[in-house]
Amino acid sequence: MNGWLTQSFTNKNRKGMLMMKKNNIVLVGGGSTWTPGILKAMTTHLDQFALNRVVLYDVNEERQEVIGEFAKILFKEEAPEVEVSYTTDAEVAYKDVDFVFCQMRTGGFDMREKDEKIPLEHGVIGQETCGPGGFSYGLRSIRDMEEMVRDVRRLSPDAWILNYTNPAAIVALALDKIFPKEDKILNICDQPVNLLRSYSKLIDHDVNKLEPVYFGLNHFGWFTHIYDETGRDRAPELKEIISNGGFRPVDAEQRDQSWLETYAMVEDMLKDFPDYLPNTYLQYYLYPEYKVKKLDPNWTRTDEVRAGREKKVFAECRRIVDNGTASDSKVVHNDAHGDMMVEVAASIANNERKTFIVMVRNEGIIANLPNDSMVEVAATLGVNGPQPYAVGEIDTFYKGLIENQHAFEKLTVEAYMEGSYTKALQALTLNRTVVDAKKARIVLDALIEANKDYWPTLN
């Protein structure tokens, strides 16, 4: 049984006592290098999101043990009242939880490497979430995500599932098709938050006082307006700054070179398409020929992560475990991801109705797009889930791009659900990073062979 925390609450508008429920959390993908950042966010946001129990769950026992032991030390020092454990047993992980934070990676880095390198071998973009790489990763992720949802509903029927598993667009659409009546699965991505933080640094403004207006699909969207607390739209100012001086992530000193190059491309996109501030991932769809020439088929993002963040995070966690203290920890790589996950959960649990950019079924939000598309838009979050803001109709250029991308995502999901080779081929042929059907077939056949232990049979 969960306990309750009596929390003093004071701000400019009200004073009083808030009865705050202590939540039971399971973090799926507990052996991830992003987990320490989420754990740190949990300990620093206890005044917003009270905790009773945190369980880390991963199928990779070796990775889970390292991060799990770090977690025990962190919470012992910063939140000793919270029970912390780790497991590789789903029956233990999903029992009696209030929130599931999900960030699984089916196939691990070995399969991510193939997602990136196989397309590049054939002259096509090789990227984790975009193009054939995202297609490959998506077909692997759906099965495990479906199993996770069924396990959670059996063991914790009322739990909220907050999904960050990539490729989020394909996963979100698949879960919506498989579980159409589910109203407690929320698909989210931290890239809009990362962008907002970077924008706030450019204009020297508190990111928490910026209100975004955003539309698109996951990794395929645009900021149309960014209002400050006075109602002033700061988007025109941001476009001018970026167009004249370039763009860097707010945490540039922590980023690998590939991320710096990714942010730098925003300047190019604005020069060609100045209407809105673009999501960084759009570069792969707008400039596929240029980007594929810049990518090294022998050294991809997977290699960069393994040589960088992967080694640093696990080495630091092992050092902390050996020393028995996290007081001097430098393990948190980027707090945007962790903060977002916890703040989203807090907004739901406490009915705060704060605004976040999330994925929801369209159903008229973007008036001239298909109702069944999973659009990414601003929404308030409370106990009843997301309440999205209407976007209205969008212009022909953006409508055309999004409809094409949605068709790719929908055919990918249908290929999985129907075991259809034809629909898989149609999906890749439509994708703007591929376009050529003969090339799509070659890449598809290579990916089928690589994923034979993960994908359904495609006939």
Strand partners, 379: 356, 388
Which residues, at least 6 apart from 80, have a Cβ–Cβ distance to it below 8 Å? none
In whole angstroms, give the CA distance from residue 116 to residue 129.
9
CB atoms within 10 A of CB 253: 7
Residue 301 marked ligand-binding: yes
CA distances from residue 308 to 69, 235, 304, 329 in whole angstroms, order as listed: 21, 34, 6, 17
SS3 per residue for the chain: CCCEEEEEEECCCCEEEEEEECEEEEEECCCCCCHHHHHHHHHHCCCCCCEEEEEEECCCHHHHHHHHHHHHHHHHHHCCCCEEEEECCHHHHCCCCCEEEECCCCCHHHHHHHHHHHHHHCCCCCCCCCHHHHHHHHHHHHHHHHHHHHHHHHHCCCCEEEECCCCHHHHHHHHHHHCCCCCCEEEECCHHHHHHHHHHHHCCCCHHHCEEEEEEECCEEEEEEEECCCCCECHHHHHHHHHHHCCCCCCHHHCCHHHHHHHHHHHHHHHHCCCCEECHHHHHHHCHHHHHHHCECCECHHHHHHHHHHHHHHHHHHHHHHHCCCCCCCCCCCHHHHHHHHHHHHHHHCCCCEEEEEEEECCCCECCCCCCCEEEEEEEEECCEEEECCCECCCHHHHHHHHHHHHHHHHHHHHHHHCCHHHHHHHHHHCCCCCCHHHHHHHHHHHHHHCCCCCCCCC
Residues tagged active-site: 190, 281
In whole angstroms, give the CA distance from residue 212 to residue 42.
25
CB-CB contact of 38 with 57 (8 Å):
no
Written as one letter, the residue type at 200 is S
Residue 255 marked ligand-binding: no
Residue 219 marked ligand-binding: yes
Residue 112 marked ligand-binding: yes
In which residue are the tokens 């966010």 written? Answer: 41
Residue 232 marked ligand-binding: no
Which amino acids are annotated as binding site for substrate, given as ranges? 112, 166, 301
Which amino acids are annotated as binding site, given as ranges? 112, 166, 189, 219, 301
Which amino acids are annotated as binding site for Mn(2+), given as ranges? 189, 219
